[in-house]
Amino acid sequence: MRDVAIIGVGCTEFGELWDKSFRELFVEAGISAIEDAGIQGGKIDALYVGNMSGGRFIEQEHIGSLIADYAGLASFNIPSTRVEAACASGGLALRQGIIAVASGYHDIVIAGGAEKMTDVDVETTTDALAAAADREWEGVMGATFPGLYAMIARLHMHRYGTTSEQLASVAVKNHHNGMMNPKAQFQHEISIDSVLNSVMIADPLHVFDCSPISDGASAVVLAPAEVARKYTDTPVYVKASAQASGTLSLHDRRDITTLDATVVAAKKAYDMAKVTPRDIDFAEVHDCFTIAEICAIEDLGFVKKGEGGKVSQEGMTAIGGKIPINTSGGLKACGHPVGATGVKQAVEITMQLRGEAGKRQVDGAEIGLTHNVGGSGGTAVIHIFGRER
Amino acid sequence: MRDVAIIGVGCTEFGELWDKSFRELFVEAGISAIEDAGIQGGKIDALYVGNMSGGRFIEQEHIGSLIADYAGLASFNIPSTRVEAACASGGLALRQGIIAVASGYHDIVIAGGAEKMTDVDVETTTDALAAAADREWEGVMGATFPGLYAMIARLHMHRYGTTSEQLASVAVKNHHNGMMNPKAQFQHEISIDSVLNSVMIADPLHVFDCSPISDGASAVVLAPAEVARKYTDTPVYVKASAQASGTLSLHDRRDITTLDATVVAAKKAYDMAKVTPRDIDFAEVHDCFTIAEICAIEDLGFVKKGEGGKVSQEGMTAIGGKIPINTSGGLKACGHPVGATGVKQAVEITMQLRGEAGKRQVDGAEIGLTHNVGGSGGTAVIHIFGRER
């Protein structure tokens, strides 16, 4: 198995991008990744693209072919494959790209993700997103995602004393980080009060506890580690790629405050990278709701179960804290174009490890982790990246 | 890169399966493949599933997690990934499974495909399938798939003298083969006259020139070639896996009677397997329409361009002919649950190479090929399998 490195990254701005189509978004991200890597289109051996619901959002499937074609790569007949795992689609596309390079099937691979969510009305968006949960046991009961994560939050509060203020502190921190990210959908501060006074979506989750509906795309260029320095002075090495499944439905879980898929994928990833949670300098985690970030930092082993809310409020996860989380602004403030998110996380880690994250730079960052979740935990995928091989 | 083998196969019946749900279908195919391989669920390292349009057909995305969960594998937290490339979704899921084993990331992998197309009305089905073409340049113009392939047929007739009788002979041959396949949707003979007298869908394609709308699922179990004989006395070896893209839209092609994606993928596959078209004993090709089989046998190099209709009428592609094509009945008679088709092709090749194809057995079959197409040629994926490594 060959080691793999990231040699280029690209990302569009995230937000309600009325003047850009799905195909334009992906091409923009892809070209910027290719330019960053300093390669030509003809050097690319394969494309992988994460996309959750082109069929519902833009009435288009066969996304791999679309992307290859509109990127001007059809003349090279480059294999192009769409991967879907709800909100973890981007993370899995990245993983397939890594496996393809590791296998020797391909050398230079672009792994990207894209979603265009604002071309349909919000009811269609909500229903399309509900297709990430179990349609027959959750969706038809009216259990959309805010409702599912509200149940997780309610039990976490009951069992561990987590408070609404602690949940809100996650949103406040991520907005603060987003303010320093020129690609973020929300580049402004919010306060604990503004979260607590915002409209209630599914008790105890206010609208400011929820990630937004977004358009956007992101891409990375992968290469065999042994040749990465031919392309860049600052390769970022993939130290681990791990994926696990949980039950699709929340009610089938052993414990709804723990995502077993995250726990299992994390253990595999730490083993593969030969590190422990203490070795991780910073991470991008899947904060589709504030409670999700709290569960994530627990399930990833950064803190003990039940302490996620407390440490978030105390600043442990802020830039400058013990383990900065979601320096990009996370799904909450950077935005959450679902297919793009998992790849955007890797873009952020790469920029941090290269020392190119500007005002939000984490000092001395050597090892970073990404954590991308599909649905309420049916899929989790974790990558660990390092400055050193 | 490790060599890969198929150690087990499974397939549901194909057809209008009103009494079986999507999740039941995949589990049935998966269990039958696992039983065929003689392994336990806990031995499985990863799942890949091809599915085109769960979002439109059953309002369900996150198909990988769904499948792992309903197969009873969620307790093992097995990574499960959905792959989509329209009607080539199954072929690409198979390819990702092969790459995953080749890479060393996983040892025992199930690659399957499933589609449940009959739970929605036929207008929704047609519109969902049109999402495999370019929605913005073809779909909105009313160019659904029969129309696109009719244009291919019309030019092929004009340029090469291909006749409606020659097109019909493909359907007649595939129905004859399907009659000998207990899993096939149509297990009865048809005549040239019945094709020519059937209702016209898009001139020159009659309804009997078109593959049907189907439900079904199929699965194979993959393992590293070096351990395959631990599981079975009749492993089937993957000699090549190759994929290529073409333009998404038909009007952007250099020549609409040639699928460049097929030509390029075929060349790569023959190079990888170190064989020529003459070494292929039999093949399953993508006959979504009769004209598609004619173009396929030309683009795969079995006959010269323009001769596909003539040789089909003369019997070269029948069982007992020089190169039997679509012994399963093909998409035309076996049925075409779009996500399942690419994997079902590999199931058929495996059964033939094991000598287990019953009345439709090809004598002395040593090397077989599968050819799976997405859309009108935006994606093509080709696998070559052999009895010997």
Q: ipTM value of the model?
A: 0.96
Residue of A56, A62, A137, A252 for testing the chain B interface, max B β-carbons within 10 Å = A62
A144 touches chain B (CB under 8 A): no
Instruction: Identify which of A65, A73, A378 has the shortest CB distance to residue B375.
Output: A65
SS3 A78: coil
Radius of gyration of chain B (CA): 19
- Report the DSSP beta bridge partners of residue A46: A109
């206010």: which residue's tokens? A206
Q: Please report which residue ranges of B71-142 form alpha helices under DSSP H.
A: 89-103, 122-130
User: What's chain B's average pLDDT?
Assistant: 97
Q: Strand B80-84 vs strand B46-50: parallel, antiparallel, or unpaired?
A: parallel
* Surface of A (58-97) touching B: CB under 8 A: 58-66, 68-69, 73-74, 77-86, 92, 95-96
B131 and A62 within 8 Å at the Cβ level: the answer is yes
Tens-digit pLDDT string for chain B (389 aa): 999 999 999 999 999 999 999 999 999 999 999 999 999 888 999 999 999 999 999 999 999 999 999 998 888 999 999 999 999 999 999 999 999 999 999 999 999 999 999 999 988 999 999 999 999 999 999 999 999 999 999 999 999 999 999 999 999 999 999 999 999 999 999 999 999 999 999 999 999 999 999 999 999 999 999 999 999 999 999 999 999 999 999 999 999 999 999 999 999 999 999 999 999 999 999 999 999 999 999 999 999 999 999 999 999 999 999 999 999 999 999 999 999 999 999 999 999 999 999 999 999 999 999 999 999 999 999 999 999 98
Question: pLDDT value at position A230?
Answer: 97
Cα gap A93→A107, rounded to integer Å: 16
């990630």: which residue's tokens? A211
Distance of CA A296 to the CA centre of its chain: 12
A135 touches chain B (CB under 8 A): yes
Question: pLDDT value at position A74?
Answer: 83
Q: Which residues of A touch B45 (CB under 8 A)?
A: none
Q: What is the mean pLDDT of each run of 10 residues along chain A (389 residues)?
A: 97 97 96 96 95 94 95 92 98 98 98 96 92 94 94 98 98 98 98 98 98 98 98 97 97 96 98 98 98 98 98 98 98 98 98 98 97 98 96
Instruction: Identify which of B102, B246, B375 has the shortest CB distance to residue A105.
Output: B102
Question: pLDDT value at position A79?
Answer: 97
B62 and A131 within 8 Å at the Cβ level: the answer is yes
With 0-12 / 13-18 / 19 or more C-beta atoms within 10 angstroms meaning exposed / middle / buried, residue B45 is middle
B218 touches chain A (CB under 8 A): no
Tokens, residue B208: 């009997």
How far does the CA of residue B152 sit from the closest CA of chain A (Å)? 19
SS3 B111: strand
Residue of B45, B57, B81, B382 for testing the chain A interface, max A β-carbons within 10 Å = B81
B104 touches chain A (CB under 8 A): yes
Cα gap A174→A290, rounded to integer Å: 10
Cα gap B342→A1, rounded to integer Å: 27
Asked whether A269 and A382 are in contact (CB, 8 A), the reply is yes
CA dihedral A371, A372, A375, A379 (to 10 degrees): -80
Which residue type sits at B346?
A: A
Asked whether A127 and A140 are in contact (CB, 8 A), the reply is no
Domains and CATH numbers, chain A: 4-122+214-231 (3.40.47.10), 132-212+238-386 (3.40.47.10)
B1 and A58 within 8 Å at the Cβ level: the answer is no
* Surface of A (355-374) touching B: CB under 8 A: 374
CB atoms within 10 A of CB A274: 10
Asked whether B113 and B50 are in contact (CB, 8 A), the reply is yes
Tally of helices (H runs) and strands (E runs) in chain A:
14, 11
* Exposed e or buried b per residue across A348-374, where buried means at least 16 C-beta atoms within 10 angstroms of its C-beta: bbbbbbbeebeebbbeebebbbbbbbb
Residue of A61, A117, A263 for testing the chain B interface, max B β-carbons within 10 Å = A61
A61 and B86 within 8 Å at the Cβ level: the answer is yes
A244 touches chain B (CB under 8 A): yes
* Per-residue pLDDT tens over the stretch B268-318: 999 999 999 999 999 999 999 999 999 999 999 999 999 999 999 999 999
* Nearby residues of B73 by Cβ (< 8 Å), 6 or more positions away: A245, B41, B44, B47, B80
B244 touches chain A (CB under 8 A): yes
- Chain A and chain B share a number of CB contacts under 8 A equal to 212
A84 and B92 within 8 Å at the Cβ level: the answer is no
Cα gap B186→B176, rounded to integer Å: 9
Closest residue of chain B to A50, computed from CA coordinates: B83
DSSP A389: -
Candidate list B106, B156, B286, B336, residue with the active-site label: B336
For this structure, is B251 an active site residue?
Answer: no
Q: Which residues of A touch B41 (CB under 8 A)?
A: none
Asked whether A334 and A52 are in contact (CB, 8 A), the reply is no
The length of chain A in residues reads 389
Cα gap B328→B214, rounded to integer Å: 15
Tokens, residue B316: 């070269």
Q: How far is CA B379 from CA A83, A169, B307, B350, in A?
A: 14, 47, 24, 23
A131 and B245 within 8 Å at the Cβ level: the answer is no
Cα gap B50→B379, rounded to integer Å: 14
Asked whether B375 and A65 are in contact (CB, 8 A), the reply is yes
Question: pLDDT value at position B131?
Answer: 94
Q: How far is CA B16 from CA A74, A193, B3, B328, B338, in A?
A: 36, 56, 37, 18, 13
